[in-house]
């Protein structure tokens, strides 16, 4: 015998009956199933995975960027109070007239050191070099060619001297890459006013030896004195 008055669940009140509107059946709605089917479609899954990968990658990048900063700041602070110089600090070129180095720096025969020379009369600064010659002598000279703006070079590679300048030698030479002239440090040659200076022309069309700079030795100090 069927119940005439079924019990009413107080937590699930009966839906009101609206004329002309069909009553909902007792079966569950298919909407949740449709939503799950949509979410598990391959394009949706791939998109979700892409967004998740982007968020994870961004988080790792931010973490690595800001977690390394304290160590860098600590290293910078340590170097500031420890007095240590940066590894990439540029070398300072000495300037003459005056002390441009020590004999220990160019103790070996044919060793050389670059320096700048400022003419006291004109105030012009040119690149220069001092070379330790055999028998204990030192020779200073301007690297700028006497009648032009070309920068001469001190060639210690004898094979390069022969290949580039077509000159064979058994010791280093001064060479001019503009006119391929070669100057011998062990010989003296005349200038345009018949003054004899070191650096005779042994190859090429140069007009005179390089401009000399007097070098004096005071104890272990190398001093660039007056210019020719």
For the residues 141-167, what does the mean pLDDT come to?
94
Architecture of domain 95-227: 3-layer Sandwich (2.102)
pLDDT tens-digit readout, 36-71: 555 556 665 666 666 666 677 666 655 554 444 444
pLDDT confidence bin for 5, thresholds 50/70/90:
low
Peptide bond into 133 cis (omega under 30): no
The 8 Å CB, 24+ separation contacts for 32-38 are none
pLDDT exceeding 70 applies to what percent of the chain?
61
For the residues 17-27, what does the mean pLDDT come to?
55
- What are the sequence ranges of the domains in the chain? 31-71, 95-227
Candidate from 11-20, 65-74, 144-153 with smallest mean pLDDT: 65-74
pTM over 0.75? The answer is no
Q: How far is CA 6 from CA 3, 9, 14, 24, in A?
A: 6, 9, 12, 18
pLDDT score, position 56 = 72
For the residues 13-34, what does the mean pLDDT come to?
54
pLDDT score, position 43 = 64
């Amino acid at each position: 015998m069927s119940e005439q008055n079924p019990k009413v669940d107080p937590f699930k009140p009966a839906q009101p009956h609206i004329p002309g509107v069909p009553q909902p059946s007792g079966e569950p709605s298919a909407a949740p199933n449709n939503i799950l089917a949509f979410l598990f479609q391959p394009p949706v899954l791939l998109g979700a995975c892409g967004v998740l990968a982007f968020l994870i990658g961004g988080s790792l990048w931010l973490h690595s960027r800001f977690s390394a900063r304290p160590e860098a700041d600590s290293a910078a602070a340590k170097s500031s109070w420890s007095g240590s110089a940066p590894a990439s600090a540029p070398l300072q070129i000495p300037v003459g007239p005056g002390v441009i180095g020590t004999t220990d720096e160019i103790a070996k025969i044919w060793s050389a050191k670059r320096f700048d020379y400022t003419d006291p009369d004109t105030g012009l600064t040119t690149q220069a070099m001092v070379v330790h010659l055999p028998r204990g002598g030192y020779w200073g000279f301007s690297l700028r060619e006497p009648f032009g703006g070309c920068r001469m070079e001190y060639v210690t590679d004898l094979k390069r001297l022969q290949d580039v300048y077509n000159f064979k030698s058994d010791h280093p030479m001064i060479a001019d890459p503009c006119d391929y002239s070669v100057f011998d440090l062990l010989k003296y040659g005349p200038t345009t006013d018949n003054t004899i200076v070191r650096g005779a022309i042994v190859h090429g069309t140069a007009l005179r030896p390089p401009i000399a700079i007097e070098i004096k030795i005071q104890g272990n100090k190398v001093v660039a004195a007056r210019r020719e």
